[in-house]
A and B are shown apart, each in its own frame.
Chain A
Amino acid sequence: MKNLRDDIEAFLLRWASLLLFAAIFAAFGLLSPKFLEPQNLINILIQSSSIAITAIGMTFVLLVAGIDLSVGSVMFVAAVVAGKLALGGQPLALTIAAVLLIGLACGAINALLVTRLAIPAFIVTLGTLYLGRGFGLWMTETRAMNLPESLLQIGAARTLGAPVPILVFLFVLALAHVVLTQTPFGRQIYATGNDRETARSAGINTKRILFLVYVISGLCAAVGGLVSVAQLGAVSPTFGNQREFAAVAAAVLGGTSLFGGRGNVFPGTVAGAILIQTVENGLVIINADPYLYPLVMSSIIFLAVGANAERFRQARRGANAS
């Protein structure tokens, strides 16, 4: 029935994201041999670890057709608290525990407002975005904060030869992937995202599901913040600004739908996050004109998402026809 052109088109669309990925790698590789060196690939992984972790949390929220705009602020608050404690000479373990707690708390606040009071997630998290940012600035009196060695260990140290950020990243990823694909909770998230009413009447405690995804998002954001700040050595007042957009972009690049029920952290979201970081990295490596960065980045995201949308559209049409 179908002629060759359709097949080719279908093929291209099916693998659009991957092809784009390959194309970008090839392009940078040609422009600078250094780009493809293993060390650089490791750099890319390290640099994308923070945003990837945050985006993984975001994916959980997007899967139930929600959104969490507050992740950037959560990253900031977590980093600030971590810094304060570390500077106060608290042991690393305590600092980390505190960060996780902050993440839980912030997530829980969003979750409460979304589930109990039935306010649209967009507004809730928009509000908490302001609150969090303001709170963090208040704690730091809007000053930058240099971090002590103890904390920087996380960023610099290597365990089993692998940099800690990557390990944390892989750990979170594995955990999230297993939760989403192998546990009842994970599948129920997809069910809730597909149709909340149905999920409820099927005996799923949707309120609990919703609550937990926002908590998870908060948690991931906090961890992401810690991982990132540990590499920076200082918390500046702008830390985490606009991260929410990067996180959403990463997830959507990975094929996660904003309307819930579709998407995955692996390969999806992770690929998205790495793609973004790869472009950043490549542009520096080839010493590109600084002014080109946003133009290139936005165009690539646009292309990838466009191809994805087109694919879904055709798939849907196919479904209707049959």
Chain B
Amino acid sequence: MTSFTCARSGAAVKVVMEDSAKQRREESAFVFEAKALRNPFVSEYSIFYLTILYFFALAPFTPGLASTENAANIFSNLLPLLIVALGQTVVLITGGIDLSVTSTIALSSVMGAMVMSGDQGWLGGSRWATIAGVVVMLLIGAVVGLFNGAAITIFRMPAFIVTLTTMMFASGLAIWLTKSKTIYNLPPSFNAIGKGSVFIVPYALVVTALLAVALHVMLSRSLAGRWLYAIGHNAKAAVVSGVPVGRTTRLAYVISGLCAAAASILYTGRMETGSPVLGQRILLDVIGAAVIGGTSLFGGRGKVIWTVCGVLFITLIDNSLNMLGLSYFFIMMVKGGVILLAALLDAWRNRLLAGR
């Protein structure tokens, strides 16, 4: 992967070479990569090309697939998923994983509704309801994330299990709090976040875009970003080099939690309902999307743009197969196949770049 980076880099800084032989070796390696890069399917954005290919392959057979309202549709489906996946990406970069995101969505949805709801909310009807609700929802996300991070960094528990248990707990809590009921009658100003739009641009798009840009900048430009990658690469080395590993790791999980909460706001808003089972089924889509995009499960590797592509692909597949009216099980199988295909592409690319 890294050798791949150097091919991309414009300004290659020459450093004293050990001997001519080695130099020749390097160069030959470059020529090779350069060749590899011309092939779209070994490029960093292979999944993106795949998406486009897929779209044009199906468009003629699928009435409405290429229509504008469907485009809008795909986006509104994509946005919340993207937000969650972005949070997940940050965690994956540190070499961790966050299975608790879906339950976080449900829990913060319920809590938010309990604050805002017109009939049974604590602040029902008050003009502060919406703001308070949003704050509470984000708070829930932050708290769950912080808990995960703390358990992982302080008690050194494996992220997989920690977040698995938080998943069980948060969802159980959400259902228990509502005694299985959904909560309706949320303030219109809140629902607007999920459905409304300024001119033609939906708020959801604005929110997501802002978040994506923010995360992109953080990962690629900021101190915290560099630290996150460093932890993913080699946590011990990071500690010795003075990286506040504990704090940074916790930050990653808090970000993931906040993203889940943000997604929950959009979901809840467009559902106009606080539901204790909100988004329960998207976990595998979230992780799948990030991984399909090219983010590594072993840490140190991942980008916002990659995840955007991954999410776009997954959503497009759902949307298109759905419009073809294919049966439930068929969609599932295709999805599984696609995940494997993407992984294959990635493996193939790495092998090419490794020059083996």
Contact = CB atoms under 8 A, between A and B. Distances in A.
- Chain A directly contacts chain B within the complex, with at least one CB pair under 8 Å: yes
Given A293-B172, A294-B171, A131 B337 contact: yes
Nearest to A67: B160
B164 interface: yes
Chain B interface, >50% SS class: helix
B332 A130 contact: yes
A39 interface: no
B287 interface: yes
B347 A126 contact: no
A226 interface: no
Interface size class, chain A: 35 or more
Given A292-B176, A294-B172, A301-B165, A119 B343 contact: yes
Interface residues of B, number: 44
Contacts of A309: 155-158
Nearest to B171: A294
Most buried by A among B164, B179, B334: B164
A305 interface: yes
B335 interface: yes
Interface string B170-184: 011101100100000
A294 B335 contact: no
A180 B347 CA distance: 31
Contacts of B347: 117-119
B49 interface: no
B156 A313 contact: yes
B168 interface: yes
B162 interface: yes
Most buried by B among A128, A245, A298, A310: A298
B160 A258 contact: yes
Contact of A127 (B156, B171, B339, B351): B339
Contacts of A249: 161, 164
Contacts of B71: none
A258 B291 contact: no
Interface string B257-289: 000000000000000000000000000100110
B191 interface: no
Contacts of A124: 340, 343
A15 interface: no
Contacts of B61: none
B314 to A, nearest CB: 11
A298 B165 contact: yes
Contacts of A320: none
Interface in B317-356: 327-337, 339-340, 343-344, 346-347, 351
A54 B288 CA distance: 24
Interface of A: 113, 117-120, 122-124, 126-138, 142, 245, 248-249, 252, 257-259, 291-295, 297-299, 301-302, 305-306, 309-310, 312-313
Given A126-B287, A134-B334, A298-B166, 13 more contacts: A119-B343, A131-B336, A134-B331, A138-B329, A138-B333, A249-B164, A291-B175, A291-B179, A294-B168, A294-B172, A295-B176, A305-B158, A309-B155
Q: Which 3 A-B pairs have the closest CB atoms?
A: A130-B336, A294-B172, A134-B332
